[in-house]
Structure 1
């Protein structure tokens, strides 16, 4: 079934997955951009926001972990539709709990649904993205991740506009939730059913037994390659998450640049990362996953070191750009490597993504705690060590026997 796709079907499938990546980024930036308004409307403190984030993070990890079972039971096509509807409801509940029926409890329920749905769809869209790579024989997962970045830019821009015109959170989140539902339904109509993704070949196809589904979901955790790929993704997830939360503060306070230059430096980081994600696929196809990952680990390490030690702000900005370039492809290429074998892609992507996202979600708060004791710039040396460890472990991303994507050609 999988090899019988026409060029038109393949194009619609790619566009559908691009849209899903964009919708995921849009939803996350919608929440992030309205945190100040939610805090003010509910009259809560920063510590309460921290607890909300913790609940969302835990739900995200549960969604990541459950995704492989969902795929084994329903397939990625129906799984992505269900997960997107779940996080659309979550986005809507965040707005309802902020303005329509003000309640921290409703917002917490919304964030848990939002986190769970987004975590689950993250695995599924990467599984489908990797399957498209196999179909076209080219590395394109970095480009899919660039569309996630585009979604965050759109979401942040719309959020800034909404806050600027004093659009209440309820109206804003309902608009976004409706957009997500439209994308989910349109994508479902254009993603082909595939046996390799667990989609049943017919309506009366025999469903796998619960024990078999759980065994499949857990199988990747018994494979050493999963943990090596986890190290690759962990180091780069720490680098990306650490930049998102601490780079602007490092420029504004530790380097004395002020808030505006801090935001500008974060923008430089984000643009550099997005550009490499857009252009990185052909580089990987030319030189191979392993070589690209090692070069980028060196770039990230050098960038962070320059950011820490630079004696002036222009060099700090150069460091931020190198940091963004280096951190750009570790996560998508780790996902691509985990999905080399279509039959085991769901469980392996789920396991590797869980390791990476635990680092992404939990790493920045840990860095914040450490920085209280040794200073922020000194704390960033930890990131240098982690990205170098990622580079050393990158041999695990070498394509498995029979897989051509990411092998490179000289």
Structure 2
């Protein structure tokens, strides 16, 4: 087997495990809400811990990108990522829960940056586009995680046993992937974050990933709660499972769709699908319409983030690693601010009406993608 194929398989394993761990957390949020007897606002407060921890990671991740190749930080963060899930599953202490969620969020930031740094470097070894497929594998990992959770709920398996299984699985396969990941991929230039007026190219990419991530993060954390509280389904993971399934389908096909209709039209298509999906979920909160709505949202949201990371490699100002670190800050803030905002809006109005936030974010993809492509036209 060619070395580049081994590297692709190892990196695919990391993407799969990252999605698997994240969905294992997200699909158990209703369980955690029940164990600690949280209201929607109190759950929102817990979820707010995540963007705070991620912001703390900004200077640290920038320093790591400038000092290290991606392989060691990626695997070390993966191990702590999985271990924090074990603490989340076993603790009944609110302080320990907050610490574990903080570590989980911090490690997620480091993992995202170094995985995507590897994708841009590895892409150069292949003639066809492969970045979208990695994000598809992340979604497949997420789909596997929520499927496992659904099965364990059916079998009445505890959250403690669930998280122990996830942690051991992640430890084993992330350790095995270490030996085949790319080595010595640290860039020798463009490794300093420059303060001052934001670079327009990075700024527009950041705003796009922010809006997409508000939708993605909100759906991750609230789709199960929505299915339980609004749709009234006992097996509350069905909505999340459907959303993740169509996300995976969209990401595996995103490279082909971009090639066929172009990147700008792909942004417009994503926005339309998100708006249609959210409108369906809000106006028709019954089982089948809600599933159809979640399907459309998954199809729409999924392609945006791979497109943004593809564009990050075109930055004239920064290395790929630093560009991804900056853009990821917008993305992680969106992913992690979305859920607590939904919680606060749900407390004030209702969970159903709080989903209007996602509709707004879907619409905003259109004007900001236009601004991005005007920059491309001016540089051409």
Instruction: Identify the TM-score tier after normalising by the shorter chain.
Output: 0.7 to 0.9
List gaps (5 residues or longer) in structure 2.
none
Which residue, out of 71, 78, 83, partners 2:72?
A: 78
Contact 1:65 1:350 in 2 (8 A): no
Match of residue 204 from structure 2: 228
Partners of 1:374 and 1:261 lie apart in 2 by: 25
Map 1:130-149; keep pairs closer than 5 Å: 130-149=120-139
- Greater relative contact order (Cα < 8 A, sep 6+): 2
Q: Does 1:280 align with 2:236?
A: no
CA contact under 8 A between 2:277 and 2:294: conserved in structure 1? Answer: yes
CA offset at residue 13 of structure 1?
1.2
TM-score normalized by the length of structure 2: 0.82
CA deviation after TM superposition for structure 1 residue 344, in Å: 1.2
Q: What aligned pairs does 1:139-178 form with structure 2 within 5 A after superposition?
A: 139-162=129-152, 169-178=159-168
Deviations 1:103-127 (A, max 9, x none): 4444443333222112111111112
Determine the structure 2 residue equivalent to 1:202: none
Instruction: Give the whole-Å Cα distance in 2 for the aligned partners of 1:305 and 1:323.
Output: 10
Partner of 1:119: 109
SS in 2 for 1:274: helix
Residue from 69, 84, 88 that aligns with 1:90: 84
Is the CA contact 1:92–1:173 (under 8 Å) kept in the aligned structure 2?
A: yes
How many residues of Structure 1 are paired with residues of Structure 2 in the alignment?
Answer: 374
The answer as to whether partners of 1:59 and 1:113 remain within 8 angstroms in 2 is yes
Q: In structure 1, what is the Cα distance between the partners aligned to 2:158 and 2:226?
A: 32
Q: Residue in 2 aligned with 1:356?
A: 331
Cα deviation digits, residues 203-240 of structure 1 (max 9, x gap) = xxxxx9xxx96xx1456983111221122112222222
Question: In terms of Rg, which structure is larger?
Answer: 1
Q: Secondary structure at the match of 2:295?
A: helix
After the TM superposition, which residues 291-302 of structure 1 pair with which residues of structure 2 at under 5 Å, given as runs?
A: 291-302=265-276
Q: Is the 8 A contact 1:139 1:285 kept in 2?
A: no
The two structures, once aligned, show a CA RMSD in angstroms of 3.6
- Residues 4-44 of structure 1 deviation map (CA, whole Å, 9 limit, x = unaligned): xxx7111111111111111112222333444566677xx63
Unaligned runs of 5+ in 1: 1-6, 200-207, 402-406
Q: TM-score, normalised by structure 1?
A: 0.77
Contact 2:132–2:254 at 8 Å: present in 1 too? yes
SS at structure 2 position matched to 1:139: coil
State the distance in 1 between where 2:18 and 2:332 align.
15
- 2:169 corresponds to 1:179: yes
